Structure 1
Amino acid sequence: MGVVMQVRIPSKNDKPGGSPEKQAQKEVGVAFYSFLIHLQMLWELMLLGEPVVVMAPSPTVSSETVLALVSSIAPLRYCCDYRPYFTIHDTEFKEYTTRTQAPPNVILGVTNPFFIKTFQSWPHIIRLGELKMSGDLPKQVKVKKLAKLKTLDTKPGIYTAHKMFLQKDKSLIKRLLKGIQRKRPSEVQSAILRRHLLELTQSFIIPLERYLASLMPLQRSVTPWKTPPQIRPFSQEEFMGTLEHAGPQLTSVLKGDWVGLYRKFFRSPNFDGWYRLRHREMTQKLECLHLEVVCDADLLGWTKDKSEVEIVDLVLKLREKLMKAGKQQLPVKEGVLEKLEGYLQTVISSLPEDLQTVLHRY
C-alpha cells in the first residue's frame, strides 16, 4: 500500500486565503449542537492542551468537530497537534496507540471502530453519534466515567475524569437551546457561540498580557551605547499575585477556580507556545527601539574621543544589528535602517585608509 495523504478540497464557500480553522469557526455552533451543555468543559480541555479522541460516525463530522474544538480558544493559538481525520495508515499510528507511555498532547478525530478499544486508555474521549432530536432540541450527550467506556457500547458521551475549574454559563446554554427551538439560523447561533468563546478566552488571556507588558523594560532605559536591557523573566507566583485586583473577574462573570486553571495552563504546550511567541515579539520590539535610539544619536561625535579599537567595535556591532534587522525583518520605522547605514559609512570614512579597506572588505 502506498502513502495515504490527508487533503481538504476547497469548497465554493471558501474565501481566498481562508484556513480550515477559520471555516470551522463559521459553523462552530453546528459542530457543538450535541454537547452544548458541556461547552465549558471542552473549552478547558482545549485551553489546557489535553489529549482528546473524537470518535465520530463519519469523516465529515470528525473533521468539523476537531476543527471546531481547535478554534474554540481563538484568538489564543492552539499549539498542540491535531488530526481532523486520523486513520490506521497515519505515520504516527504506532506512537499514538501505544500504551507504554502517556498519550501525547493531540486531538484525534477517528471513525474506525477499531480505535474504540485502542484508545480506551486515553484520558478524554468524545464519542459522537448522529445528531438526534428530543422534541425541538438536539439530544445532549452525557459526561461519563472512563471506566464505563466499553468496546461494544456505542452510546454517545464524553468519557473523562476532568473536573471543571469554572462554572457553566447557564444563560448562554439556555439562549443557544432556545435558538435551536425557534429555528434560529445556524450562522447566528455560531456567531453567538463564537463571541462567547472569544470573550471567555480574552478574559483568560488579558491578565497574562497585562502582566507580560510589565516585564518589558522602560523605554527610557534603552540607550544607544549599551546593549538593550533584558526582559524580566516570567514569574508564575508574581503573576498569581496580580489576579486579585487584575484578574479575569474584571471582564468575566464566570465564577470558579481561575487560579487552578492558570496553574494547569502553565504546564501546557499552549502556554509555552504563547509565551515564546510573545517573548519573541517583545525582544524584537526592544531591538527596534534600540535601533531607533542609535539612529537618533550623534555617532560621529561619539567617535571623536574614542580609540580606533572602540570605533571598529562599534562598526562591527552596528553591522551585526543591521544584518539581524534585515534577516528577521524587524518592524522598524521607515528610513531607520537606511539612515543608520549612512551613519555607518560616515564613521568608517573617518578611520585611517588601511582600516577602511579592511572594514569594506568584511
Structure 2
Amino acid sequence: MDPFDSFNSHKEVLSASAKANPEVPEPWSRFSAWLECVCVVTFDLELGQAIELIYPVDVKLTEKEKTSLCYLSFPDSYSGCLGDTQFSFRMRQSMGRRSPWFEQEDPYNKDVPVNLQKEHAHFHGYVYFRQVKDASVQRGYFQKSLVLVSRLPFVNLFHALLQVIAPEYFEKHEPFLETVCHEIDQWPAPVPGQTLNLPVMGVVMQVRIPSNAENSVNQSHTENLLPAPTVLSSVHELDLFKCFQSVLIHMQMLWELVLLGEPVVVMAPTSTVSSESVLALVSSIDPLRYFGDYRPYFTIHDSEFKEYTTKTQAPPNVILGVTNPFFIKTFQSWPHIIRLGDLKMSGDLPKQLKIKKLAKLKTLDTKTGMYTAFKTFLHKDKALIKRILKGIQKKRPSEVQSAILRQHLLEQTQSFIHPLERFLESLMPPQRSMSPWKTPPQIRPFIQEDFLKTLEQAGPQLTLKGDVVGLYRRFFRSPNFDGWYRLKHKEMAQKVDCLHLEAICAADLLTWIKDKSEVEIVDLVLKLREKLMRAQKYQLPVKEDLLKRIEQSTHTIISSLPEDLQAVLHQQ
C-alpha cells in the first residue's frame, strides 16, 4: 500500500471513531498541540528548493508560507556545508489565517511563562539539513532538509527530536515519517508544570515545561514498559556561554539593546551560529517577553526582506540573524551590527570582539566586531566578567558557565522590572472600594514621571550603577514596555473582576432585592450572568465554590420573579 493511502485510511478510521465516540480525540489533535506539520524540503534542479512532503497531508500552508519555508530550510552557505546541519528559523504567518490556538485564553498560554507561549502570528521552524556527495544525483550531491514546523518555541526539544528521527528518515523515507507522526499523535498534551514522557522510535524524551506556578510539579503517569527516558534539562534554554563567549565583555550592552528593542543584525558564519545567537539574545531579558520581531535565520528570499531593508524609514524593532555577506552592504544604515566569525583564542581565553565604528562597515570581508555607536546607560559588571573568564581558565563546564550567565541576566532583568510592577500595584483600586451594587472603580493611569519620582526611594536593587532614569525613559519608548504594560494591565483588570466577584459573593443579595423593582432585579440578574460568563471565558483565578454560590443566588433571585419573567430569563 502507498504510504499516503495508508495514512489517509488511518485518518478516516480515526475520524469515524471520533464521531461515534465524542471522547475519542479528533485526528491529529494531539499532534497539532505540539507541531503544525512536518515537511521535507529537497533541492530540485529546475525548481530550486521545493517541498517534497508535508505531514499531515491535509495541513494547509499558503503558497507564500511554502515559499518562505523552502528558502529558510536550506542554509545560505550550503555549498560548503557537507554533512548534517541543525538550525532554526521563525517566519511570519500569512495574513488572514486563523490559528486553532488563537483564543487569547488558551489554558496552555495562561499557565506558561510569556516567553514560552504559543505563537499566533508566526511559525517556528526546526531544521535538520543533510548534504552528502551522491553520484546518482545530477548535481553530485544529496541535499535535503527535514523540518518541524511549530507554534511552540521549544528549540531544545525539537532539535533533540530531529536528532532521533532525521538520520533514520534519510534512510527509510516516507513510511518512517508517517509512523513518527502517528507516534507524536499519541503524546500527552504540553501541560506546563508537568513532567512529560514523550516516546518516539524506541526513545523516550522526558521534558518539563515550566509553569507560572513553579512550585507545582506533577509527575505524569507512564507505563513501566517504556524504556529509560532521555531527560532534557530544558525544552528551550540554550547554552548562553557557548553563544556569548566572544562578546562576554559586552554583555551589558547586548542586554540593554535587547531590553530597549533596538534593531540588531547578527552576521554569522553559519545558520547554526546565527539562529543560536539570535535566540540567546532574545532570552537574555527573561522573564520579560521580547515584543519586537526576531528572525533566528533570515535570507534575501524572505517575504519581509524589502520591508526590513528599505532605506526610506528607520530600521524596525527586530533582531535578524544572517549568513550571506551580501547583507553587510544591505544593512549599512542599521545602528547595531554584530559580525561573528570562528571563535579565536587569545592564550587560553576566547578573543573578545571589539567595538567598531559603523563607518568601517563597508566591504564584504568586514572583520569580526560590534559595529555600533551605542553607549550603555549602566556600567559593566566587571566582577561577572572576571568570574566567567576565571571559569574558562579553570575549565569550568560550559553548562555551569551558562547557568552563571543566565542567573546574572535573570536577576538584572527582575531588578529592573520589579519597581515597575510595584508601581503598577499602587494604581490598583483598593479592595474596600469594591461595591457589589456598582461598576468596579477604574485602574489609575500609568504616568511615567510619577513612576520616575519613586525611584529615589524604591529604585531597582541593581548591583550595577549608571543612568538608571535614562534607561527607564528609553525603555518607555520601546515595544517591550508597550507589550509588557498591555499584559500587566490585562492581568490587573482581571484582578479587579475577581475582587468585584468576591464583593458580590459577600453581599446579601436576597435582602437587597426585597424592596427593588422588577427592572432593577432583572438588571442585577443580567449583570451577575455577565460576571459569571467573563469568569469562565477568561478563566479568572476565582475559587469554584464562590462561582457556584453566585450561580445559586442568581437562580434563587430568578425564582422570586413572576413566571413570565422567569421564562424569558431562562431562555437567554
Please state which band the TM-score falls in when normalised by the shorter chain: over 0.9
Could you tell me how far apart the structure 2 residues matched to 1:153 and 1:75 are? 37
Amino acid at match of 1:177: L
How many correspondences in the alignment? Answer: 359
2:476 maps to which of 250, 261, 266: 266
Normalized per residue, the structure richer in helix is: 1
1:192 is paired with a residue of what secondary structure? helix
Could you tell me how far apart the structure 1 residues matched to 2:569 and 2:437 are? 21
Distance 1:46 1:15, change over 3 A: farther
2:528 maps to which of 295, 312, 318: 318
Post-superposition offset of 1:89: 2.0
Q: What is the CA RMSD across the aligned residues, in angstroms? A: 1.7
Amino acid at match of 1:40: Q
Post-superposition offset of 1:17: 6.1
Could you tell me how far apart the structure 2 residues matched to 1:157 and 1:282 are? 44
Could you tell me how far apart the structure 1 residues matched to 2:247 and 2:488 are? 33
Q: Which residue number in structure 1 is paired with residue 244 of structure 2?
A: 32
1:65-121 residue CA offsets vs partner (Å, 9 max, x unmatched): 101100000111111110100112221111111111111101000001111111111
2:544 is paired with a residue of what secondary structure? coil
2:253 is paired with a residue of what secondary structure? helix
Contact 1:24–1:71, Cα closer than 8 Å, also in 2? no
1:16 maps to which of 192, 207, 210: 207
1:164-205 residue CA offsets vs partner (Å, 9 max, x unmatched): 100011111111111112211001100111111111111111
1:285 maps to which of 483, 492, 495: 495
Contact 2:207–2:235, Cα closer than 8 Å, also in 1? no
1:48 maps to which of 260, 263, 278: 260
2:458 maps to which of 242, 246, 249: 246
Could you tell me how far apart the structure 1 residues matched to 2:309 and 2:338 are? 17
Alignment of 1:61-140 (within 5 A): 61-140=273-352
Q: Which residue number in structure 1 is paired with residue 557 of structure 2?
A: 347
Amino acid at match of 1:8: Y
Post-superposition offset of 1:151: 2.1
1:136-155 residue CA offsets vs partner (Å, 9 max, x unmatched): 00000011111111123331
- For structure 1, the residue ranges without an aligned partner over 5 or more in a row are none
Normalized per residue, the structure richer in strand is: 2
1:121-146 residue CA offsets vs partner (Å, 9 max, x unmatched): 11110110001111100000011111
1:300-328 residue CA offsets vs partner (Å, 9 max, x unmatched): 11000111111111111111111111111
1:82 is paired with a residue of what secondary structure? strand
Post-superposition offset of 1:16: 3.4
Could you tell me how far apart the structure 1 residues matched to 2:416 and 2:532 are? 38
2:265 is paired with a residue of what secondary structure? strand
2:289 is paired with a residue of what secondary structure? coil
Distance 1:23 1:189, change over 3 A: farther
Identify which range, 148-157 or 112-121, moves more after superposition: 148-157
1:248-291 residue CA offsets vs partner (Å, 9 max, x unmatched): 1xx22211000000000000010011111111111101101111
Could you tell me how far apart the structure 2 residues matched to 1:332 and 1:266 are? 32
1:153 aligned onto 2:365: yes
2:432 maps to which of 217, 220, 224: 220
Identity, in percent, stands at 73
* Structure possessing the higher relative contact order (Cα contacts under 8 Å, 6 or more residues apart): 1
Could you tell me how far apart the structure 2 residues matched to 1:53 and 1:239 are? 33
1:305 maps to which of 515, 529, 540: 515
Distance 1:63 1:207, change over 3 A: same
Contact 2:433–2:441, Cα closer than 8 Å, also in 1? yes
Contact 1:222–1:228, Cα closer than 8 Å, also in 2? yes
2:496 is paired with a residue of what secondary structure? helix
Question: How high is the TM-score relative to the length of structure 2?
Answer: 0.61
Amino acid at match of 2:523: D
Shift >4 Å, 4+ stretches: none
2:416 is paired with a residue of what secondary structure? helix
Could you tell me how far apart the structure 2 residues matched to 1:201 and 1:92 are? 30
Amino acid at match of 1:168: K
Could you tell me how far apart the structure 2 residues matched to 1:267 and 1:79 are? 12
Q: Which residue number in structure 2 is paired with residue 167 of structure 1?
A: 379
